[in-house]
């Protein structure tokens, strides 16, 4: 994901430590979203729990994982174990993952029996917030995953863009720009997620009205290796309104023009076309033309004689 994430405000430590003086409340799947406003560390610090008891998070914003990097992590886990505890919350007899998806996957692939975890108490909203921030701070999310995470936070908990921005410590404009990426078609979103197009390219494509035009230029941008600036120029060219025709007035009335054309046709015995001269709004003139058809040299000689032309040759 291009660029550095800034303005995240609180880190994971701050989120986990928030509310340590508040009275602890039990967290269940049916609890209201706002029932637990802050994440609190459960007693006991780091614990070892069975890998089988750790379940995937429904709030995981990441959907793609680098297979090569994951393979390397699996090998490391086999040798050294999991060095950084997973962040989980207790849900019934299971531990729902909040942060540490790659470490969990690597542990499962390495056939580990247990993993170290830190159990915290967190509402659904807080669990999603922590999962988002953890990935953003590690720059693990591609732009589309980031946007989908914000959209999920906004939709699931009925938050405004301003509230989402406050939750993740970013400017509201950054949230708005990210969410706009979700207006793109699935195909173009895939290009952005895979890094074939940058966020800058995507923003330029959003200025086009139809998905057909967006898809056509997206493919061309990838094929030609266009810079964002080049794509901007091309889009501007395509979306520029056509120039208004210059105000002009024919020097011959249309009815007279037709009459004159018919009479010349009868007089000369051949087809005739007249384009009248025109006067522009600024007074300038556009020349007219007279075209007379002929089929061979004999007919040309006849026509020249009719108009009074005599050659000296």
Residues identified as active-site: 101
Q: Where do runs of H (alpha helix) occur along the chain? A: 12-17, 67-80, 101-109, 124-137, 143-156, 161-168, 172-180, 186-193, 199-205, 211-224, 228-239, 254-268, 297-306
* Per-residue CA distances from 125 to 7, 234, 297 (Å): 20, 43, 91
- What does the alpha-carbon distance between residue 157 and residue 178 come to, in Å, rounded to a whole number? 18
**283 dihedral zone (left: phi>0; alpha: psi -120 to 50; beta):** left
The helix/strand/coil state of 50 is strand
C-alpha 153/C-alpha 129 separation (Å) is: 8
Q: Which residues make beta-bridge pairs with 116?
A: 48
Distance CA 76, CA 80 (A): 6
Record the tokens describing residue 148, joined without a space. Answer: 């989908």
Rounded distance, CA 195 to CA 193, Å? 6
> What's the length of the chain?
313
DSSP state of 67: H
Buried (b) or exposed (e) across 203-227, using 16+ Cβ within 10 A? bbbbebeebeebbebbeebeeeebe
DSSP structure string for 85-135? PEEEEEETTEEEEEE-HHHHHHHHHTT-SEEEEEEEE--HHHHHHHHHHHH
Q: Which helix (H) or strand (E) segment is 273 a member of? A: strand 272-275
């Amino acid at each position: 994901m291009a660029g550095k994430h800034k303005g995240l405000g609180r880190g994971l430590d701050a989120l986990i430590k928030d509310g340590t003086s508040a009275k602890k409340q039990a967290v269940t799947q049916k609890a209201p979203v706002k029932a637990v406003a802050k994440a609190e560390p459960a007693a006991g610090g780091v614990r070892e729990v069975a890998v089988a008891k750790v379940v995937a998070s429904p709030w995981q914003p990441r959907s793609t994982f680098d297979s090569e990097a994951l393979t390397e992590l699996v090998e490391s886990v086999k040798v050294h174990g999991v060095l950084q505890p997973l962040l989980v919350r207790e849900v019934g007899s299971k531990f729902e993952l909040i942060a540490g998806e790659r470490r969990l996957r690597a542990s499962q692939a390495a056939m580990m029996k247990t993993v170290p975890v830190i159990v915290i108490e967190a509402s659904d909203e807080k669990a999603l917030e922590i999962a988002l921030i953890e990935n953003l701070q590690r720059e693990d999310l591609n732009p589309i995953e980031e946007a989908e995470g914000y959209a999920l936070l906004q939709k699931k908990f009925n938050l405004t863009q301003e509230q989402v921005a406050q939750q993740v410590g970013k400017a509201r404009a950054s949230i708005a720009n990210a969410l706009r990426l979700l207006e793109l078609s699935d195909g173009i979103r895939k290009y952005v997620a895979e890094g074939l197009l940058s966020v800058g390219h995507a923003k330029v494509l959003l200025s086009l009205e139809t998905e057909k035009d967006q898809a056509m230029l997206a493919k061309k941008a990838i094929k030609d290796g266009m810079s964002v600036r080049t794509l901007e120029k091309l889009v501007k060219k395509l979306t520029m309104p056509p120039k208004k025709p210059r105000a002009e007035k024919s020097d011959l009335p249309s009815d007279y023009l037709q009459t004159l054309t018919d009479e010349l046709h009868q007089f000369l015995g051949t087809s005739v076309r007249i384009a009248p001269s025109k006067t522009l709004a600024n007074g300038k003139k556009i020349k007219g033309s007279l075209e007379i058809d002929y089929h061979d040299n004999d007919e040309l000689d006849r026509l020249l004689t009719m108009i009074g032309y005599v050659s000296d040759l």
